[in-house]
Amino acid sequence: MSNTLTQFGKVAVLMGGQSAEREVSLMSGHGVLNALLSQGVDAHAFDPAQRDLAELKKEGFQRCFIALHGRFGEDGTVQGALELLGIPYTGSGVMASSIAIDKTMTKRVWLSENVPTPRYVLLKQNNLGETAQAHVLQTLGLPLIVKPAREGSSIGVAKVTQASELPQALQAAALCDTDVLCEQFIAGDEVTCPVLGEGDTAHALPVIRIVAPAGNYDYQNKYFTDDTQYLVPCGLPEAEEKAIQAHVVKAYQVLGCKGWGRVDVMIDAQTRKPYLLEINTSPGMTSHSLVPMSAKAAGMDYESLCMHLLASAGLEHATTQKDVA
């Protein structure tokens, strides 16, 4: 075990950052940091909002555990910086991260590969008028979901049940992003499923069924209440769970994800057909988070999960070129 720890060297846990999910990232990061320290890893907190990433190289960090969420952490930007610095990092690379953060681009790839996802209309921040609203209502009907295309943690998300609610929902989402995604509402069971690995070795962990108060799985109910129920085992028929896991693994693979990820899914109550909503390439690692919960159900505790992810850290474009003075 000590040889393995020596191989990791000095590890930076990237947490905080500049996105709207900073608060959640700090919770995730401190959880990961404490887990790695408990296993004897030479791990240190590093907040890119407060320190220049170039300091990672200057201070001799040899590996990064990315516990950042949202923009500038989960969107390919920090991944690209770490590629240039030559410091291996956890999770997906530049391309997969940049596609996965964008729910519209993710849908386009999934639809081209026959991965089921709800119908959608993409609007721009500067074009949310009556004509655009009429197009959304005609295409998707009611109820529908409005969300920023590139945010997470349910920030800026609204369910629209009446046409009169649409303008306010669009404006709220537009405050978070220039791209506003309007999506077909799927009524039914809400589940999520983590994936570990890369390519042909990618495999799904147990599905978690989410039962939120009044069906409202918002930011508050995700992170700060104990009223939301997380069922694992999920209680779905075995064949249904396996079908969801197969869809999720394919969705992960076609985007080129690696290391880990988590896919959120709605199951239509009438047809029992699963619809994949989005993929998280740097999922939460807080006390309420779902990947650790699913991993535990599969026999992997929090510390083991963190060590597994740290061991999977790598570079997409490993170079043999010597550092230039």
Active site residues: 21, 153, 223, 262, 264, 278, 280, 284
Q: CA 244 to CA 118: how far, in whole Å?
A: 15
Question: Tokens representing 56?
Answer: 């990672």
Residues for the chain: how many in total? 325
Task: Calculate the CA 226 to chain-centre distance.
Answer: 21
Could you give the CA distance from residue 64 to residue 61 in angstroms, rounded to a whole number?
A: 8
31's tokens: 């959880």
Closest CA to 306 of 259, 262, 270: 259
Token look-up 């590139």 returns 150
Contacts of 213 (CB under 8 A, 6+ apart): 221, 225, 227, 228
DSSP β-ladder status, 188-198 and 179-184:
unpaired
Tokens of 111: 């639809």
- Torsion over CA of 240, 140, 102 and 17, rounded to 10 degrees? -90
| HSE-CB for 136 with a 13 A CA cutoff | 32
Helix (H) or strand (E) holding 109: helix 103-112
Read off the tokens for 212: 């939120």
Q: Taking CA 236 as the corner, what is the angle to CA 231 and CA 242, rounded to the nearest 5 degrees?
A: 110
- The tokens describing 236, both together, are 């779905």
Half-sphere exposure of 40 (CA within 13 A, CB side): 7
Which residue, among 261, 256, 229, has the nearest Cα to 245 in the 3D structure? 261
